[in-house]
Each structure stands twice: as structure tokens, then as C-alpha cells.
Structure 1
Amino acid sequence: MQASTGKLQALFRQQFPGLIMPLSAAEAVSALAAIAGSEAVIADTSRMGAYLNEPRKRFHQTAAAVVLPAGVETLQAIVRWANENRVGLIPQGGNTGLVGAQVPLTGTEVIVSLSRFDRIRAIDTAAGVMTAEAGVILENAHRAAEAQGAMFPLWLASQGSARIGGVLSSNAGGVNVLAYGNARELTMGVEAVLADGRLYRGLNALKKDNTGYDLKDLLVGAEGTLAIITAASLKIFPLPEDHETALVNVASPEAALELFQFMRQRAGSRLNAFELIPAIGLEFQLRHGMLDADPTASPSPWYALIELTRMAGTAPGALQQALETALEGGLASDAVIAESLADRTRMWAFREQMSECQSKEGASIKHDVSVPIAAIPRLIAEGSAAAERLSPGIRPVPFGHMGDGNIHFNFSQPPGADARSFMARYDEAIHTAIYDVVLRLGGSVSAEHGIGQLKVDLLRQVKDPVALDMMRAIKTALDPNGILNPGKMLA
């Protein structure tokens, strides 16, 4: 154990010279147990699996320990100890992140799980605000708001395990960004522990506050590199009377773009989702028994999943009327409108299972990118052509949030190909090809999943050098010893 720890410490010092890591894992565990209680510390690597095994299984380091503080004061004490002893801390929510921000990089860090910060502190429907701790599971936040006749509109496929702190730290988007914005836009204030252990008390419910820098906007999306978010005041909205949902057949991404523009003109703010899905996604899911029935009206090369909210006092049928006009005008060829909750659930399952279904088809190369909405058809056409030139027979699977320009541009291996050989040969080349297209179209190489440890080198290549200097200056000012999520986002 000592030899292994020594090697890890040497690697850590090499990569992060500012963190001297003088403690052994055993010493760290002993100190953490004294602060948080032995029952709140996991030292045995065989028990750390749930905290280390991130969804894509790309990162495989262990941790010096996992600690689960029960309250803010305990967390402050842990952070003060870590700062004094130069121990790297990794804040972790539900461990659903896809770029490795929430798991170890070298194996010497301590994972700080916020899972015990799981209270809804307050809900004020009149003010439109809910105060939730960082460890609240997103789905539980939905239920708490709904119990008070309100809605928290941030919806993700991983909402049954994602936690508020992680959702905010990654500035998650989800399917309702079109109408309600991403996590940053839904956050009114945060409470957070700084790198020196002080508590930033930034919770508020003010719609207007011009008393200096907007610090919560800095902490949301920082991936735990500037502070550890412990609670947030979040915007909630009146609970809709109902939703009107449809799957619409479109001939191409260009046709989908025209339909989106038409729907936005017709529905305005009631249009809360417009998702683009290729036919290959339906093919995958039906082949592997992931849908109990085909949710579409008829075969089509592309589908648009469209949803409108219907508030109390408004008449139903707005979506049907709009689609009738769209069909008459040739913007779509067919459509099916959900007539029951089961229909709506099936339609959304079709969309939400798009990532999972690819894993059943072998290896896949994934990109979370965004471009201006008008450039989505070019992104898909040019990106698919570039990938197919590199790997004949590769299967493009682009899908996602057409309404905000965020496309999950994925590629499944050719049928029958060896997964390991496919990834070894094409992973880097296809990434380069897709990112070249994205940047040429004025887009971003990370739309909603963040940077983590996966895209650190990429960020350095594509980000404006002045912006990087500003980010590093902020990091140094708030975390001079570099203890908060070292090696993530910035290197």
C-alpha cells in the first residue's frame, strides 16, 4: 500500500507541483474521520465503486478516500484541512457527468460526496423560488415543486440520479432550454464553500441586484474548480395545465429547421421543446426491444419531437392546429400527437434513450457540440461526410436540441466491426474532423457536458488565449493552492 501511494504521490507532484500532497492515504483517512466521523469516510477501494465508475467508463483511477459530510460546517472543516495540507478535493453529486469532472485524475485526491446535502430548504411559489441543497436529486426537486403546484423545468435523461450541485456545476441544459434556459439561467443564487473554508452566502430571490459582479454566474458552470456549491435558490414556474406533444416526420435537417422556425412563430414561449431524432435511432431501439411500440406515425428519415405547454385557462389544440398548417404547407409529411400520458412517455423515451441505444450497437464516438441554429443542417451534412470519408460504413447518429443549437453528434461503428480496433483507429481522427466543422461554423466544442478532464487539451487549443488567462487568474485568486478539482477544466 505504501509503495503504491508513493508512486501516486510522485505522479501527482509531477502533474500538479502546487499541490505537495505530503499526507499518505492512511493519514488522510485518519484526518477526515476525525473531522467528519469514521462512518462518513470510505477508505476501502472495493467500496468506492459507485463514486469512481462514471457513466462512460473512460476514467479508471481510484481515490485516496471518499468523504460524505453531513452539513455545511463539516464541509468547511474538510476544505480548511485540505487547503492547509494541499490535498486535492473532487466535489461530486450524482456521478452522472460525461467528461470526468467528478472522478479522480491521479488517484491521490479525496472525493467529497454531497449526497447527504439532500434537503429542500424552502419553496416560495409567490416569489417563484425554491431553495435546494446540492445533494437533492433532480427528480426529487421536480416532485417537491410539483407538490406545491409549481414546476422546476430542468429535465435531463439522468434526472433520477443527477443532483442539483452537479447539475449547476456543469451548467446542464436538458430538453427545456428553449423555453426556460439552462442551469445558469435558472439559478438565482448559490451558497458555496470557498477553497479556504469560508462560506459564501449568496442565496437570494432577487430578480434585480446590481451590487457588483454576479458571483453565482461564475460558480455555476465552474465544475467545482472555484468553490463547492452547497445550496442554490432556483427559479420555479407555474405548473402547466397540460402538455401537447407530437412526433413529426420531416425529410431532412433543413426541413426540420423550417418547421422549427414556423413553430416558434406560431407558439412563441409555449414551445418548450424541439428535438431532432434520426430514423437510425428508432431502428436501434426497436431492434433491441427498448420501446414497447413504435411511437411514430410512419417511417421517415428524420423526426422532430415537439412539445408545447398549455397553461391554465388556455384552450387545447394549439399544436394540432399548427401541425395541420405545417402539413398543408409541406413542412412535414406526417405526424402523431400524444393522446395519453403513455403516448407522451413513449415519445420521450424514444428521445431519452438515444445515447443508451448506441451502446447496444457496439462502440460509438460521441460529441456534445453546438452551432448557430441555422447552421445545424450544414453541421450534420458536413460532419457526416467527413466521418464517412475516414471510416466507410460508419453510422452517423446526430440528435438533440435543435431549438438551441446543441446537437449530440455521435457515430456508431460499422456493423460487425471490432469495437476496440474501431476506437483505436478512428476516435481521435473523427473528433478532429467534427471539431473542425464545428469551429468553422462558429460553434462550441462543449455545449452542455462541460470540460472536465476529457477536454482540457481541447479547450487549450480552441479557447481565446485572453479568455484562458482570465480564467486562470480567477482560479488563482479563489483557489491559490489549487485544491479544488485539480487538473479539471484548466491545466
Structure 2
Amino acid sequence: MAPYLTDWRGRYTGDALAVVFPDDTVQVAEVVSVCARAGVSIVPQGGNTGLCGGATPLARARAVVINLSRMARVRALDAENNTVTVEAGCTLASIQEIAEGIDRFFPLSLASEGSCQVGGNLSTNAGGVQVLRYGNMRDLVLGLEVVLPDGQVWNGLRALRKDNTGYDLKHLFIGAEGTLGIITAAVLKLFPRPRARSTAWVAVSGPTAAVGLLKALKSTCGDRVTAFEIMGRPALELVFKHIPGARPPIDPLPAWSVLVELSDTVQQEGLSALLERALADALETGAVSDAVVAASLSQTKALWSLRENISEAQRIEGVSIKHDVSVPVSRVPDFIERAGQLLEARWPDVRIVVFGHIGDGNLHYNLSRTDAIDNQAFIGLTPEINRVVHDLVNSLDGSISAEHGLGQLKRDEITRYKSGLELDLMRALKRTFDPNGIMNPGKVL
């Protein structure tokens, strides 16, 4: 049972009476019914790749973990309707492969896509690198099947893009982290498969220049701008330190780098030329100091591996105080500048690792110290440091959790930033769906 009782980061370890692996929705419903009658808590679990302890039972819990990894069937594939109906245990990578097999595209893309599962992606409203063009997981779903806390099954597997018949119930379960029910299947949107991609690594003078470049690219390239990622130098230095074979695409490594990707559904030889022209214009204004456009698929993969390995490099380096925050895109430079000033004034030796999806305002803002002994004491200041970062985010009309959810990690912290009315409405929903409080207790609320 041990692997199912600890989260991916090793931050939370809980207890359970059992871990069960249902094969279908009927079995999920039967297990939930038994637990409901016995008053035993239920913890839904997918690939267990979450970063907030949302799929880990609490310590000393009288709980059953329901792991959905055996439920990995494709129930329907409709190329004409551009939909696929899959069970919650399907990995994200397998859904991408299914779409590619019918010349379609499923756009959600995460570093953990080989092991994360669609049930977890839905329960946390996962984001990733292509939200800029395609939206979060919430935007990629048409219908759900959910086992409710009393064992009833709601079949909302509708493959409709228009259904104006009352409350859109599926959105209550997306992002709810399994606290209202267990998602067992979903109808997902598919898209035309991109035929052309162009990727560039760009040195910018700072976050303000990066936001300016994003604006310019969207003006000249339209919705071909698929991804726009920012990385500070400290984040990449960890990759070069810990990931074998990683090399700087621009030497010397700039203080700030942006990874840009354009894509088009039409095979267009001029896509790279379009990107190059846009970057040349930015070079003339001084917003860009250097750029490398990938000339092959292997170069594209090498550039993306630098971005995707930041989290793994941080894990190898040691514990850090992690923040998954969002602010309006226009206020990203203000946040980065003011947060750095506030933190460095109080903790001069802080190492600030910034990277993320600047195209949609979502930054991963992680803090540590380079010396392991000093860092251990620094981690002990987590509540105080969180207050500095989260108060600033809140003052900029942002969110303290952009794409990772609340889980156990931010369950109490969120009460400082949501209004009493919002929390009361959330609790009212929880009481309505789960009056006995057995569904993933201690998470979100």
C-alpha cells in the first residue's frame, strides 16, 4: 500500500484501511456504497502526480483509497464530432496517442503526461503549456460520468457543444479534487492536428519585454501562438546542474529566457519564417537580445526538455517553497519585481526560481537557499514567506493556485483570500453532495 499513501513530492504520507482498484464504474459505485454505509472516508486517486497532497489520505485516517488506474478503456471515438470518450484511468499520453491515430490532436500537455491520468487532470482542472491557445482542462470537456458520495452514478456523458438545459453540472466536479464525487469517465474535445510547428528560444531583457513580445507575436501571428513560457536564469542553472546532456541554447545564458511555439493546422513552410520575422522586429526594438529557432524536431525536443525538466531538477536539488500563482498577464512584471524586492529585503540570500506560463499569467515561483543547512531553516519559514507572496498576488487580483489545486497544501491558506460568502457557497455545495463528509476529507475545505 505504501506507494499509494505518499504524494509524488514526498511531502504528505497518510493512512488507509485499504487501497482498491475497481475495474469499472459499477465496481466504483459498489465500493462507494459500502464505504458510505460504514461511514468510511474515500480518497479518489489517479496517477498520484499531484503537487498539493490532494490524492493522499490524511494521517490516522479511517479511509479507503480508490485508485482508478485499471479503468483505462476508450468507450467511444468519434472523428466527425471531434470527441473521444475515455475512462478516468487513461493516461494523458495515451489520449494524445489515440487522437493522433485518427489524425486529431488533444492539446493538454504536462511534464507528467506519461503517468498522470485524465481523472486527476479533470479533478484539478489541469493547465499546462498550451492553455494560451486551447484553455484549461475545463475548456476541453463536454461531458462527465461521476459516482456520487452515496454510490449513485450520474451519467452526463454528452458529446454536445450546445446543451442549454439548466445547470451545467459537470463544472461542479471539474477542479473539485474529488471532494464532491469520483469522475469515472469523460467526453473530451479533439482538435485538428497541427501540421507545422516552429519553436524558438529567445533571450529577453526582462518580464516586461517578455509581455511586450507576447503582445507583438499575437498581433502578427494570431492564434498560431500555441505556447509562451518564461524562465529565469536560476531555474535553468538547476537543469544544467542536474539533468545529464542539458546545454544552454544561448551562451552566455541570459537572465531571462522565453520559449515560444507557433503551430498551424496547414502544412506551411513559412511558419518558421513568420516567427523569424517577428523576432527580427523585436530585436530592432531591443526587447529581444538573441534568439535561436529550432531547425529540426530533435532541436525542438531539446529546447522543450529544458523547460520540462525544471521541476525534476528542483526535486533533485532539494526542498523549496513552491508557489503556483496567477495574475493578469499585464501585471506579471509588476509581481516579479515587487516580490523579489520584498523577499530579498527580508531574506537577502534567497534563491528565486521563476518559470511558467507567462502567456496566461501563471508563474511557478519557488524559493530556497543554496546551502542545504541554511535551506532547512529557511523552509521552516514557509508560512511567513507564503504570506508575503500570496498577499502580493492577492493585491494584484491574482490567485494563489493557478493550476495545481488546493489539496492539503493550501486548504487553510485559501481562507485568507476567498470571501466569507465564497467559502459559504463552497461549503453549501459540499454539504449538498456529501452531507456525511466522506469524500476526500481535509482537501480544498
**Normalised TM-score (structure 2):** 0.97
Give yes or no for contact 1:173–1:183 (8 Å, CA) kept in 2.
Answer: yes
Letter in 2 for 1:206: L
Give yes or no for contact 1:244–1:310 (8 Å, CA) kept in 2.
Answer: no
Give yes or no for contact 1:65–1:110 (8 Å, CA) kept in 2.
Answer: yes
- Aligned residue for 2:85? 131
SS in structure 2 of the partner of residue 135 of structure 1: coil
1:372-412 Cα distance to aligned partner (Å, 9 max, x none):
11110111111112222222211111110001000001112
1:324 aligns with 2:277: no
SS in structure 1 of the partner of residue 31 of structure 2: helix
Shift of 1:415: 3.5
Letter in 1 for 2:357: H
Give yes or no for contact 1:291–1:350 (8 Å, CA) kept in 2.
Answer: no
1:233 aligns with 2:194: no
- Aligned residue for 2:225? 271
**Cα distance in 2, alignment partners of residues 478 and 293 from structure 1:** 51
Shift of 1:357: 1.6
Shift of 1:291: 3.7
Pairs within 5 Å for 1:116-265: 116-265=70-219
- Aligned residue for 1:4? none
SS in structure 2 of the partner of residue 365 of structure 1: coil
SS in structure 2 of the partner of residue 364 of structure 1: coil
1:478 aligns with 2:428: no
1:141-196 Cα distance to aligned partner (Å, 9 max, x none):
11111111111000001111100000000000000000000000101110111111
Letter in 1 for 2:258: A
Give yes or no for contact 1:137–1:162 (8 Å, CA) kept in 2.
Answer: yes
Give yes or no for contact 1:358–1:412 (8 Å, CA) kept in 2.
Answer: no
**Cα distance in 1, alignment partners of residues 244 and 351 from structure 2:** 19
**Cα distance in 2, alignment partners of residues 122 and 319 from structure 1:** 38
Give yes or no for contact 1:363–1:413 (8 Å, CA) kept in 2.
Answer: no
**Cα distance in 2, alignment partners of residues 65 and 152 from structure 1:** 34
1:367 aligns with 2:320: no
Shift of 1:313: 4.4
Shift of 1:363: 3.0
**Cα distance in 1, alignment partners of residues 241 and 409 from structure 2:** 31
SS in structure 1 of the partner of residue 385 of structure 2: helix
**Cα distance in 1, alignment partners of residues 10 and 343 from structure 2:** 24
**Cα distance in 2, alignment partners of residues 416 and 138 from structure 1:** 35
**Cα distance in 2, alignment partners of residues 352 and 391 from structure 1:** 28
1:458 aligns with 2:413: yes
**Cα distance in 1, alignment partners of residues 321 and 394 from structure 2:** 18
**Cα distance in 2, alignment partners of residues 397 and 349 from structure 1:** 17
Give yes or no for contact 1:273–1:308 (8 Å, CA) kept in 2.
Answer: yes
- Aligned residue for 1:446? 401
Give yes or no for contact 1:95–1:162 (8 Å, CA) kept in 2.
Answer: yes
**Cα distance in 1, alignment partners of residues 444 and 317 from structure 2:** 31
Letter in 1 for 2:57: P
Give yes or no for contact 2:243–2:309 (8 Å, CA) kept in 1.
Answer: no
SS in structure 1 of the partner of residue 175 of structure 2: coil
- Aligned residue for 1:352? 308
SS in structure 2 of the partner of residue 446 of structure 1: coil
Shift of 1:297: 5.9
**Cα distance in 1, alignment partners of residues 158 and 292 from structure 2:** 43
- Aligned residue for 1:20? none
Shift of 1:282: 2.2
- Aligned residue for 1:397? 353
**Cα distance in 2, alignment partners of residues 124 and 451 from structure 1:** 34
- Aligned residue for 1:431? 386
Moved more, 388-397 or 408-417: 408-417
- Aligned residue for 1:80? 33
- Aligned residue for 2:424? 469
Give yes or no for contact 2:52–2:409 (8 Å, CA) kept in 1.
Answer: yes
Aligned partner (choices 258, 268, 276) of residue 314 of structure 1: 268
1:284 aligns with 2:238: yes
Pairs within 5 Å for 1:293-308: 293-296=247-250, 298-308=252-262
**Cα distance in 2, alignment partners of residues 420 and 64 from structure 1:** 33
Alpha-carbon RMSD across the aligned residues, in angstroms, is 1.3
Moved more, 57-66 or 415-424: 415-424
- Aligned residue for 1:342? 298
SS in structure 1 of the partner of residue 137 of structure 2: coil
SS in structure 1 of the partner of residue 442 of structure 2: coil
Letter in 2 for 1:379: F
Q: How much identity, in percent, do the aligned residues show?
A: 45
**Cα distance in 2, alignment partners of residues 119 and 416 from structure 1:** 45
Moved more, 116-125 or 269-278: 116-125
| 253 and 290 in structure 1: CA distance in 2 versus 1, 3 angstrom threshold | farther
Aligned partner (choices 409, 414, 419) of residue 365 of structure 2: 409
Give yes or no for contact 1:298–1:334 (8 Å, CA) kept in 2.
Answer: no
Unaligned runs of 5+ in 2: none
**Cα distance in 1, alignment partners of residues 81 and 69 from structure 2:** 27
**Cα distance in 2, alignment partners of residues 79 and 277 from structure 1:** 44
**Cα distance in 2, alignment partners of residues 283 and 355 from structure 1:** 12
Shift of 1:49: 2.2
1:101 aligns with 2:54: yes
Aligned partner (choices 106, 112, 126) of residue 66 of structure 2: 112
SS in structure 2 of the partner of residue 335 of structure 1: strand
SS in structure 1 of the partner of residue 139 of structure 2: coil
How many correspondences in the alignment?
Answer: 442
Shift of 1:252: 0.6
1:214-263 Cα distance to aligned partner (Å, 9 max, x none):
11111111100111000000011011102110000001111111111111
Shift of 1:80: 1.0
